[in-house]
Structure 1
Amino acid sequence: MPTSVLKSRTRTDYPYFLTYRTRWSDNDQYGHINNSIYYHLFDSVINSYLIAHCGISPSSPDSSSPIGLVVSSHCEFFQPLSFPQTLVLGLRVNKLGRTSVEYEVGVFSQDADEVAAVGGYTHVFVGKTSRRPVKDGMGEQLRKGLEMLRFEDGTEKKARL
Structure 2
Amino acid sequence: MTEQAPSEARPQRARRADFKHHRVITTRWMDNDVYGHVNNVVYYSFFDTAVNAALIEAGLLDTASSAVFGVVVETGCRYSASISFPESIEAGIRVAHLGNSSVRYEVCLFRIGDEQAVAEGHFVHVYVDRKTRRPAPIPADVRAFLQSLVREPAA
| TM-score for both structures, normalised by structure 1 | 0.86
Query: Whole-Å Cα distance in 1 between the matches of residues 79 and 51 of structure 2?
Result: 19
- The question of whether the paired residues in 2 share the 8 Å contact of 1:99 and 1:133 is answered with yes
Q: How does 1:11-160 map to 2 (within 5 A)?
A: 11-53=16-58, 55-60=60-65, 65-134=67-136, 137-154=137-154
Q: Secondary structure at the match of 1:114?
A: coil
Query: Whole-Å Cα distance in 2 between the matches of residues 127 and 41 of structure 1?
Result: 25
Query: Whole-Å Cα distance in 2 between the matches of residues 92 and 54 of structure 1?
Result: 18
- The question of whether the paired residues in 2 share the 8 Å contact of 1:54 and 1:141 is answered with no
- Deviation by residue 1:51-102 (Cα, 9 ceiling, x = unmatched): 1226121112x5xx10111110000000011111110010000000000000
Q: Cα RMSD over matched residues?
A: 1.7
Query: Whole-Å Cα distance in 2 between the matches of residues 124 and 12 of structure 1?
Result: 27
Change (3 A) 1:3 1:120: farther
Identity of paired residues, percent?
Answer: 34
Number of equivalences: 148
Matched AA of 1:75: C
Cα distance, 1:23 vs. partner?
1.2
Unaligned runs of 5+ in 1: 156-161
- The question of whether the paired residues in 2 share the 8 Å contact of 1:11 and 1:90 is answered with yes
| TM-score for both structures, normalised by structure 2 | 0.89
Unaligned runs of 5+ in 2: 1-7
Runs of 4+, deviation exceeding 3 Å: 2-5
